[in-house]
Structure 1
């Protein structure tokens, strides 16, 4: 059996912009992938609302800095065959990541380096990596989310090019979520159930290929 770690933020956790709770289990994209690949693959869903690539958030009760928590997850879930990273949205908050895709790219590079150089237990190889670019934001009239992300609607359109550069630099795979799903105008940054399922469905084949699975 192959093991996949899905490492992300609320888009991986399954935040529902309509209810502000969590999408049903099989609507969340990691579980869509896991269900499709069946007994051949175990997909570990490791998403957390507000998680950044590499930046601290001192206003929350749990660690949100991806760089700080990733080594623990690599150690506890090894051996891993693939790590899928979908992060960057929260780096565009001015109070955590600086509000630019540039900082997100730097944080993502650090996450890639951690995955590739972590001292895995002897006999285990570093996992393959798949970087997923977050979908661009859209305008919203929701007051809080407009304050948090309204300045970054245009900036978020640069996720694809920035993450493509990281993938090319490190020789790893990349997928653009914006090609298959759209953020909800309810809050401008999250995915409704249909779109998070659509993302999972689109990732099935790239993940199957990276794991070298038979159809």
Structure 2
């Protein structure tokens, strides 16, 4: 029986390339995205990439649009792909933008709210709760054209992993901390270079296999 893994994230799940100017829309070819490599690592699984550039945990973006709100669209996405065995949840980077003025603790609590929505969705097999694999993105850097957008976010991002780890511990969730595994690009301080894709795929594949037993 094929199982379903929904990868719910932002531009780094979408496969967005590092950008040299705001508004650039480069995207890695399908074969170079970590979600595609993850599918190769997981025979017997359908891997669904659901990454939206600019997606936040639960904030309407006053600059880029309310459709970036990850909470408001989540129930529809879960229903459209059900039954979903496992949701790989990797968000929080865009919450570090200066315009949102939130703390690492609040970002982690926002992710905890998304976990509750997933578990209560009835979108799992036989109408049950999908599993959740929680991932902490690596710390960002204030570099390039995106540096001013994320002003103050670099320092906050250093604490984000431990706050997300606490959410995972409270919920008994499998957890992957990407700090130390991959680093953000020197170009814009937010996105990943192509070389990060196989590292992400292997780390997530190991976590999925451990969860599945």
- The normalised TM-score by structure 1 is 0.90
1:64 pairs with 2:68: yes
Aligned match of 1:151: 152
1:28 pairs with 2:33: yes
Query: Which of 44, 49, 52 is equivalent to 2:53?
Result: 49
How far apart are the structure 2 equivalents of 1:202 and 1:122? 25
Aligned match of 2:138: 135
How far apart are the structure 2 equivalents of 1:62 and 1:27? 30
How far apart are the structure 1 equivalents of 2:125 and 2:104? 36
Question: In the TM superposition, what whole-angstrom CA distance separates every residue of 1:35-87 from its partner, at most 9, and x where no partner exists?
Answer: 1113x000000000000001111333571111101100111111111000010
RMSD: 1.7
1:59-98 → structure 2 map (5 Å cutoff) = 59-60=63-64, 63-95=67-99, 97-98=100-101
Shift of residue 150, structure 1, vs aligned partner: 3.4
Question: In the TM superposition, what whole-angstrom CA distance separates every residue of 1:96-135 from its partner, at most 9, and x where no partner exists?
Answer: x324212211210110000111244893221111110010
Note if contact 2:59-2:66 (Cα within 8 Å) is conserved in structure 1: no
1:113 pairs with 2:95: no
- The normalised TM-score by structure 2 is 0.91
How far apart are the structure 2 equivalents of 1:122 and 1:150? 42
Count of aligned pairs between the two proteins: 208
Structure 1 runs of 4+ aligned residues shifted over 4 Å read: none
Flag structure 1 segments of 5+ consecutive residues without an equivalent: none
Aligned match of 2:8: 7
